[in-house]
Structure 1
């Protein structure tokens, strides 16, 4: 009898494992390509970083991921450099192509985009504007996705909160939770973004202590996070706080969490020496999730 029970238990576990599906999720602040900054003078211009960013994403095999700060030409550059990916999102400045996006990229062979939308982080959500004490317009883009292989459906929300407005971040967190409740009708949800605050912030707590979403960092049994997520293009410094986050509804099981501190070597034309460079001023956060 014990042998029979053991065989049955093993068979049940095997079936559960066989039916469990997994995919990788990430969030990545790309650093905008802005002619007013001096990134290019220091070897950190978009044209210099693009090949590395594209290869990093493909090497780590992101299945679906949120981006922040990308301008339309940057997003199009990535699409060309990464065959098999598409994105959804709009520019925050005009609701079309102007300004930074909070775009969501996904593998077209793995996911089908069913619905999508966007709203501004403000008291006026349907057109470009600045909310509360924010100094810039901020936008959240979302999509309803279906995993092609399994038919599994989930929602993905991605945002970039204001870097100055304390009230704006707190109210934006409340707004996002309210919109998720209305839009998703209790279906599985992923929320990613650059929240511009670490895990000690009250706006972070609004989301992480809600009954809907939880920080993937806390849920993961395996954490590879030897640094914070902001690096200021300095490969020699180690930051502490995590300001880029991925939150999940209870429908997902996190198996791995990582802050990817990949660097590369590039020639400094002034010193004629190779030095450590970073693909962006943020490190990407990547997780692996299981679902049934």
Structure 2
């Protein structure tokens, strides 16, 4: 049995209006938090190109996968960082949450282009492989969140199913889907992803979920051990109750040993981002 620790962290884009919570004053604390908890995989949301460089510089033990959501790789990204000493990146790529996922695009009335970055990683001490998908749903359009969930669910069976080394192309390693979904447990996008058997159509009637899609479980609900706040949103100084919008969803092959919402503060006594990171301790 192989263990893997996956962290998901919306680090807040570099907004000049954040004043004393500007990225320059937070970046070291963000990196220290990751280094202290030592996840095998760290998935970030919202970092701009300069922030991605800052994270690479401060996390030299990790290999980064992913690009920005704009043409040319600019804009916010959903990079995945993988610990080189325990796991190797076999392949990885990014697609858009839209009607044209293969090219930079904005779909379903979203406020911005939205993306999902994926990586297939393999344990260096064996043949265990895991697929990690990192995403960030739109914060404005309910339709975009719903359709993004449907697109991800449809693509799960085929994302990174071949290891590119001549192995079995039909092999489907377990999957971990993490990210800021901008919705709480029980919401429509969340129900679509965890496959509760049906979802409402445009008229509000229940329709079956695609049986070929890979079912997922919410790691927070499935965990043997749960730790930390029930929310994942902050205003840098305080927690905002009832807003667990950062999620880790896993396929059935993965056992969820523990799930934590990490409420670490920096040396100023503030949270390093307006989101708390989440950490899932899994085994294959």
* TM beyond 0.5: yes
RMSD: 1.4
1:103-114 pair list within 5 angstroms = 103-114=79-90
Of 207-216 and 82-91, more deviation after overlay is shown by 207-216
1:226 shift after superposition: 2.0
- Contact 1:24-1:64 within 8 A present in 2 as well: yes
Gaps of 5+ in 2: 162-169, 197-213
Q: For residue 178 of structure 2, what is the aligned residue in structure 1? A: 192
Which structure has the larger Rg over C-alpha atoms? 1
Where 1:289 maps in the other structure, the secondary structure is strand
Q: For residue 223 of structure 2, what is the aligned residue in structure 1? A: 220
1:126 shift after superposition: 1.4
Q: Distance in 2 between matches of 1:263 and 1:120?
A: 33
Q: Distance in 2 between matches of 1:62 and 1:86?
A: 13
Q: For residue 281 of structure 1, what is the aligned residue in structure 2? A: 274
Moved over 4 A (4+): none
Q: Distance in 2 between matches of 1:189 and 1:137?
A: 24
Of 146-155 and 24-33, more deviation after overlay is shown by 146-155
Q: For residue 44 of structure 1, what is the aligned residue in structure 2? A: 21
What is the count of residue pairs matched by the alignment? 257
1:225 shift after superposition: 3.0
More helix by share: 1
Q: Distance in 1 between matches of 2:38 and 2:29?
A: 14
Q: Distance in 2 between matches of 1:92 and 1:264?
A: 29
Gaps of 5+ in 1: 1-19, 267-275
- 1:76-110 CA distances to partner (integer Å, 9 max, x unpaired)? 1111112211210111011x331000111111111
Q: For residue 26 of structure 1, what is the aligned residue in structure 2? A: 7
1:245-260 pair list within 5 angstroms = 245-260=247-262
- 1:132 equivalent among 108, 119, 131: 108
Q: Distance in 1 between matches of 2:177 and 2:240?
A: 26
Q: For residue 165 of structure 2, what is the aligned residue in structure 1? A: none
Q: For residue 290 of structure 1, what is the aligned residue in structure 2? A: 283
- 1:207-257 CA distances to partner (integer Å, 9 max, x unpaired)? 11265211101110110132300112133x442121000111111111111
Q: For residue 199 of structure 2, what is the aligned residue in structure 1? A: none
Q: Could you state the TM-score of these two structures normalised by the residue count of structure 2?
A: 0.87
Q: For residue 203 of structure 1, what is the aligned residue in structure 2? A: 189
